[in-house]
Structure 1
Amino acid sequence: MKTFASRHSGLLILALVLAVLPLALPNSYYYDVAIRIALNAMVVIGLNLLMGYTGQISLGHAGFFGMGAYASAVLTTHYNWPPVAALAAGAAATGLLALVLARPVLKLKGHTLAMATLGLGIIISIVINNEGQWTGGPDGIAVPGFAVFGFEITGEKSWYAVAAALLLLVTWFALNLIDSPVGRALQAIHGSEVASRVAGIDTTRFKVRVFVLSAVVASIAGSISAHYIGFITPNMAGFFHSIELVTMVVVGGMASVFGSILGAALLTVLPQLLSAFEGWEVVVFGAILMLTMIFLPRGLVPSLARRRGKPAAGSGAAPLKLVKKAGGGHA
């Protein structure tokens, strides 16, 4: 039996880094970047459970992120809902939409699945743009602060503590999920959906569950982001944001929880660093991504771990032997 420390050494290291990091953040700008990294990493971990571990691509996750953000904005601004209730309502609505659409959408595979999820994201973005009386349309909408039981979260240190705690919670949940029979079933589906069915795994049920889970995580991160930023626009639900999230998964490492965090950190910080290349930052950004995919095709964390001759912490392949472990099949 693995001990807690051996199974979650990466989580303990992450907790230590998050606890010590404020000592190295000199001003509010760096706190802002750290908070955005943590919120992006939450979404990317959920998306990696769907893409990296289950093998189901989604190009519309920014739509779920936007649904959470706009649910919080509309319900708190127009109806004076408490922020926590608005966040919960947004997560529930997003989860319900994902549940309704998951079965027909996840019957598709490959590029057809990618196009279907892309279409879903575009529809959500169009609705947000067109319903200007509620959402502010292309001009965006202001979002009040986040308060819990009358206590409002203010200041970069408080927001950093909230974002860091949520990131730790999502990371812990993902690691435990991966190490459970459900996680082994997801990896078996990625390895071979046909073999998984033969072993008795209800592949449709598992794919629907992870799709809904990843959508709800994205919605919660969207709600928190909306309250933190204080003003949102439809761009956060747009196609380019979805591509950015997928790129974070791929660059950090497919089927790697800590690769998700690294990918979110790199692609959140990199545009800031490339601002010096005035007019050429997009070209340099694209070149860096291209070189990463050429020389580290599995993503940064799995590729570097493989070169060191050991599996990355929080990572999982999808070997067919997992089918036998996950079979019998009703995890």
Structure 2
Amino acid sequence: MNRLGNILTPRLGLAVLALVLAAAPFGFANPYQYDVAIHVLINALVAVGLNLLIGYAGQISLGHAGFFGLGAYVTAILSANYGWPVLLSIPAALVVVGVLAFLVARPILRLSGHYLAMATLGLGILISIILRTEAGITGGPDGMVAPPLSIAGMNLYSEVYWYALVAVLLVLTVWLALNLIDSPVGRALRAVHGSEVAAQVVGVHTISYKVLIFVVSAVLAGLGGTLTAHYSGFVTPDLANFIYSIEFVTMVVLGGMASTFGAVIGAVILTLLPQFLTGFDDMEMMIFGLILMVVIIFMPRGLIPALTRVLPGVRR
């Protein structure tokens, strides 16, 4: 019976997520609400990938906004400056992000603790500086135009179509994350998180698994960047800003580390909360910080792990 519950609970959660995403548009009254929802889903997609790295592998990254911005710029440059079809420039951007992540992962992931945090922070800042200073390629601080996404010869301008596309991609990302967690790779990642030395003793090649999940997480961040670029139609170096890296990490921590659905919930809360605080003018950021502080103090493991104590059937 326990085995059956373990199998059904993630599937049930995935089904509920898909139903919520399918039903949500019926409550949208205008294009602005679609716009906010699209940004929520893109952030959730990035947070799910970052949760694999932080929550399951136990490796901190404060530079994922760099991969987000790099993905946005590579697809914008290829499609706007070189005339690539967007459906080709997006995969090309993900390859570039993945290759960069692979090249830097092995030396960076040999570090741990605050040394690892500082190294990833430096990487993100370096990417941001390059995007800002290489004006001949990136447009510099002013940014550059990103052509619209075209499918079957039709440009996607409508928020309705964009919402449907991003919702499907989020469901697929969550499904892949859940399957990865239940695979031998996921068990190896949890072993690395628990004790890297113990994992090595039992034959787990820890650095290989850390590099793998770092690349997967970076590519998902890059995917979020490419979607943002072609949805908004414009990219600026601010996409790689350090503050966005902190926001992505906060989404994971708020929802609950080592919880895929927690990462989604954290992204929803952290993206929507400022929308409800706009009426407080100068106090907006103070209230925002206070709410986060209260949650972290009273639910240090995040929202979903806190719920599991009350509702044992809730997991992942």
TM-score, length-scaled by structure 2:
0.97
Cα distance per residue 1:177-218 (max 9 Å; x no partner) = 011111111011101111111111110100000000000111
Cα distance per residue 1:277-296 (max 9 Å; x no partner) = 11111111111111110001
| Counterpart Cα distance in 2 of 1:192 and 1:23 | 47
Structure 2 counterpart of 1:305, from 281, 304, 308: 308
Bigger fraction of residues in helix:
2
Segments of structure 2 that go 5 or more residues without pairing to the other structure are none
Q: CA deviation at 1:304?
A: 1.8
Q: CA deviation at 1:5?
A: 4.2
Equivalence for 1:161: 164
Structure 2 counterpart of 1:69, from 64, 72, 80: 72
Q: CA deviation at 1:305?
A: 1.7
Q: CA deviation at 1:6?
A: 4.2
| Counterpart Cα distance in 2 of 1:81 and 1:272 | 36
Give the count of matched residue pairs.
313
Counterpart code for 1:234:
P
Equivalence for 1:149: 152
| Counterpart Cα distance in 2 of 1:95 and 1:311 | 36
Equivalence for 1:192: 195
| Counterpart Cα distance in 2 of 1:239 and 1:7 | 33
Equivalence for 1:27: 30
User: What is the identity percentage for the equivalent residue pairs of Structure 1 and Structure 2?
Assistant: 54
Structure 1 counterpart of 2:246, from 230, 243, 266: 243
Counterpart code for 2:148:
G
Give RMSD over aligned pairs: 1.2
- Kindly report structure 1 stretches of 4+ aligned residues shifted beyond 6 Å: none
Given that residues 40 and 221 in structure 1 are in contact (C-alpha distance below 8 angstroms), is that contact kept between their aligned partners in structure 2? yes
Question: In the alignment, is residue 88 of structure 1 matched against residue 91 of structure 2?
Answer: yes
Give the SS at the match of 2:281: coil
| Counterpart Cα distance in 2 of 1:74 and 1:26 | 35
Give the SS at the match of 1:144: coil
Cα distance per residue 1:49-94 (max 9 Å; x no partner) = 0000000000000000001100111111111111111111110011
TM-score, length-scaled by structure 1:
0.92
Equivalence for 1:283: 286
Give the SS at the match of 1:277: helix
Counterpart code for 1:99:
F
Single out whichever of 106-115 and 127-136 deviates more from structure 2: 127-136
Question: In the alignment, is residue 98 of structure 1 matched against residue 110 of structure 2?
Answer: no
| Counterpart Cα distance in 2 of 1:282 and 1:26 | 27
Give the SS at the match of 1:224: helix
Cα distance per residue 1:14-60 (max 9 Å; x no partner) = 01111111111111111111111110001000000000000000000
Equivalence for 1:125: 128
| Counterpart Cα distance in 2 of 1:239 and 1:52 | 20
